[in-house]
């Protein structure tokens, strides 16, 4: 009997050691793959390259909805009226309103100060995104503040949070496994209750780096805000000049 137990324990030990080895190997290969592909993957670059800059400041928070049914989206957001042009929506993006774009490659953008802010009320943002995704399907939320370093992103589908993270001086929302796109961009996500690391002189805070790379994550997840805005403004006959997003 003792021999059987020893054999079982030995077999279990082999399985555990093998599992640990596989996890370690996977992480090592992921790091190597990330280093090798950072130089050849255009979407992983820290600085986005655009053909032209946008003539109005890009919004600091927005939704990207995987749907071209503008009417259904407006109904889900309880919006009335005929809406406004995208150039007007951008110029009024800080108002306590919500504005919906025309479809772009199967996506629809939503901007405006009426969108919930995780730094102010993350619970309200959670409920808002959950209810909206139940109505329209896949919803992506992005937020950045280059002054304070606050930032956030979320991806929901049919009322389910696939991935979400928001930083407002501390982690106020961290749900789901970190995606490969976040890892490729070098984003740093803190667990709840964690203190940001103490920086040495000359170091850049990971929080500010995260905020700068939020538009790149949006691009990897589906829709580049700058390119979509350029297309929408071109359709409206609005000229672009050398201006960029503000925080």
pLDDT digit string (tens) for 170-183?
999 999 999 999 99
pTM of model > 0.85: no
Select the more confidently predicted residue: 18 or 57. Answer: 57
At 3, is the pLDDT very low, low, confident or very high (cuts 50, 70, 90)?
low
Burial class from Cβ neighbours inside 10 Å (0-12, 13-18, 19+) for residue 228 reads buried
Express each pLDDT in 194-210 by its tens digit.
877 776 776 778 899 99
What does the pLDDT read at residue 82?
74
Domain range summary for the chain, segments of one domain joined by +: 58-236
d(CA 229, CA 104): 9
Where do we find the tokens 């984003």?
187
């Amino acid at each position: 009997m003792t021999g059987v137990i020893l054999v079982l324990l030995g077999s279990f030990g082999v399985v555990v050691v093998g599992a640990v080895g596989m996890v370690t190997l996977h992480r090592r290969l992921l790091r190597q793959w990330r280093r090798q592909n950072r130089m050849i993957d255009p979407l992983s670059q820290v600085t986005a390259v655009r053909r032209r800059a946008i003539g109005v400041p890009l919004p600091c928070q927005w939704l990207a909805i995987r749907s071209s049914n503008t009417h259904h989206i407006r109904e889900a957001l309880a919006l009335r009226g005929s809406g406004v042009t995208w150039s007007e929506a951008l110029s009024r993006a800080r108002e306590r309103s919500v504005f919906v774009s025309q479809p772009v490659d199967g996506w629809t953008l939503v901007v405006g100060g009426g969108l919930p802010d995780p730094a102010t009320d993350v619970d309200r943002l959670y409920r808002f995104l959950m209810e909206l995704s139940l109505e329209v399907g896949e919803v992506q939320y992005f937020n950045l503040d280059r002054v304070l370093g606050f930032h956030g992103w979320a991806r929901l589908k049919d009322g389910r949070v696939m991935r979400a993270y928001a930083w407002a001086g501390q982690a106020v929302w961290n749900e789901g496994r970190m995606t490969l796109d976040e890892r490729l961009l070098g984003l740093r996500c803190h667990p709840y209750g964690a203190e940001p690391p103490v920086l040495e002189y000359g170091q850049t805070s990971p929080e500010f780096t995260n905020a700068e790379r939020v538009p790149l994550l949006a691009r990897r997840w589906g829709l580049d805000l700058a390119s979509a805005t350029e297309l929408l403004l071109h359709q409206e006959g609005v000229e672009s000049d050398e201006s960029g997003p503000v925080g």
